[in-house]
Structure 1
Amino acid sequence: MNKIKCIVVDDEPLAVSLLSSYVEKMPFLELVYSSENPIEALEYIQKKEADLIFLDIQMPELTGINFMKIVGNKLKYILTTAYAEYALEGYEHNVVDYLLKPISFDRFQKSALKAQERFAVNRDSNDSYFFVKSSGQQHRINFNEILYIESIKDYVNINTGNQEYIVLDTLKSLENQLPENFARVHKSFILNLEKIEKIDVKNVFLNSGKEIPIGETYKSEFFLKIKK
């Protein structure tokens, strides 16, 4: 499984340094950005991909709660706070856990493992479906029904041929939940390898007639995967 891309946001420099060092100790986490300024962190998120944010609740420029309201559920959060009473307020958002300061590495490790469980799907299990929230309802989707998944700004479109599900999520997050017969072929597309009819150097043609471009960034890994 790909590493979980992490961001650390806290107005205290020592907290940023400590949490960053903790992230770097976990083999399944990757620190992609850290900042003492939540406004700059918002700008980063608009331009780059990330999965998980270690986010301080109390910051003078922008509180963690308001930060989550702006970003929404496209990312997952682990909240950090010096005050336990603030932690529960975050659970209406996509919050995995909260860490009460001062944060020990042991407690951080437990939280990180909890996040890993949230992102990961046991690929050796017999799970053949997952649930997604679309149009205010939870929908069960069988993996073998999916043709492709397309990124549309802050949303993804899960296409089964007969149905489209518009979900507030990212391709990166879904990529970590899908079984091995799915592949990212473009910054905007993941497809089901079992639905491929033919391939040329620039495009994949699905058995539904859908034509999907192959991005240069993903080309080498994609062709290696289909050879297997």
Structure 2
Amino acid sequence: MIRCLAIDDEPLALGQLVTYISKVPFLELAAQCQSALEARAFLEHDTVDAIFCDINMPDLNGMDFVKSLTCPPLIVFTTAYSEYAVEGFKVNAVDYLLKPFGLQDFQRSASRLKERIEGASMVNEQADVIYLKTDYRVVTVHIADIRYIEGMSEYLKVWVEGEPKPIITLLSMKKMEERLPSSFMRIHRSYIVNLTKIQEVNKNRVILDANTYLPVGDLYKEAFQSYLQSRFIR
């Protein structure tokens, strides 16, 4: 799912955006705001993958709002004024919807969002690095530095050695599991672990350090135990 934010100071236009978002299966409405200031307050404590943003708004217009974001998500501008189109693409907007627009136009923009996100959440075929889309950026991650991966709905938290915060990316556990080398193992429906980072196995959990304990799920216990048995020194 692509979490999105809808922003428009006109209640009818905002209602239309919300309705159109609900008609696209891969879009999820995170919030709707009637001003850029309200949207900014929301983004201080939450994240989204995309913003559908009106340009002509009081106090802070949509264009200046997007330019003020440190790491803006994907943007689709909506406005009744065509002269903003060129400026919109200068800030790397995915699309530009000229009001009044219909559902078909909106679906086209939504498809472009999906293509952009799927194209950026990519894994290199080489064994040493992966490329992940996060916060409107593509980052390079050395596979050997990954400690573990945590699944949360449609997103993954990729915990990397030496980094206090995880990389959050729109990708499935199955997709990630398929692309990682054999030094990684799925030990729980929500966890993939780098086997080389395990310090200790204690009952139904693996210990990476004094503060990191990962559970071993019942469905994955047999395969994990087989792996351990194959590594025992006899």
Same fold (TM over 0.5): yes
Residues of 1 paired with 2:96 and 2:10: CA distance?
17
Matched, 1:29 2:30: no
Residues of 1 paired with 2:218 and 2:79: CA distance?
45
1:223 CA displacement: 4.5
Residues of 2 paired with 1:142 and 1:124: CA distance?
14
Residues of 2 paired with 1:113 and 1:50: CA distance?
17
1:193-212 Cα distance to aligned partner (Å, 9 max, x none)? 33452566998644xx6853
Residues of 1 paired with 2:9 and 2:37: CA distance?
11
Gaps of 5+ in 1: 151-156
Q: Any conservation in 2 of the 1:81–1:87 contact (CA below 8 Å)?
A: no
Aligned to 1:180: 176
Equivalent pairs, count: 199
Residues of 1 paired with 2:52 and 2:35: CA distance?
13
Change in CA separation of 1:223 and 1:8 when aligned onto 2, cut-off 3 Å: farther
Aligned to 2:66: 68
The DSSP-based 3-state class of the residue aligned with 2:67 is helix
1:34 CA displacement: 0.5
Change in CA separation of 1:199 and 1:9 when aligned onto 2, cut-off 3 Å: farther
Aligned to 1:19: 17
Q: Alignment RMSD, CA only?
A: 4.4
Counterpart selection for 2:115 from 114, 117, 120: 117
Percent of paired sites with the same residue:
31
1:46-81 Cα distance to aligned partner (Å, 9 max, x none)? 122322110111111211121112323242211112
- Give 1:108's aligned amino acid: F
Q: Any conservation in 1 of the 2:66–2:72 contact (CA below 8 Å)?
A: no
TM-score of the aligned structures, taking structure 2 as reference length: 0.64
TM-score of the aligned structures, taking structure 1 as reference length: 0.65
The DSSP-based 3-state class of the residue aligned with 2:85 is helix
Aligned to 1:212: 212
The DSSP-based 3-state class of the residue aligned with 1:193 is strand
Residues of 1 paired with 2:74 and 2:218: CA distance?
31
The DSSP-based 3-state class of the residue aligned with 1:73 is coil
Residues of 2 paired with 1:121 and 1:204: CA distance?
34
1:159-191 Cα distance to aligned partner (Å, 9 max, x none)? 765x87x99xx62xx2438842389x9xxxx98
Aligned to 1:130: 131
Matches within 5 A, 1:34-53: 34-53=32-51
Gaps of 5+ in 2: 151-156, 181-185, 224-234
Matches within 5 A, 1:74-85: 74-85=72-83
Residues of 1 paired with 2:202 and 2:4: CA distance?
35
Matched, 1:98 2:93: no
Q: Any conservation in 1 of the 2:133–2:170 contact (CA below 8 Å)?
A: no
Aligned to 1:146: 146
The DSSP-based 3-state class of the residue aligned with 1:95 is coil
Residues of 2 paired with 1:160 and 1:87: CA distance?
39
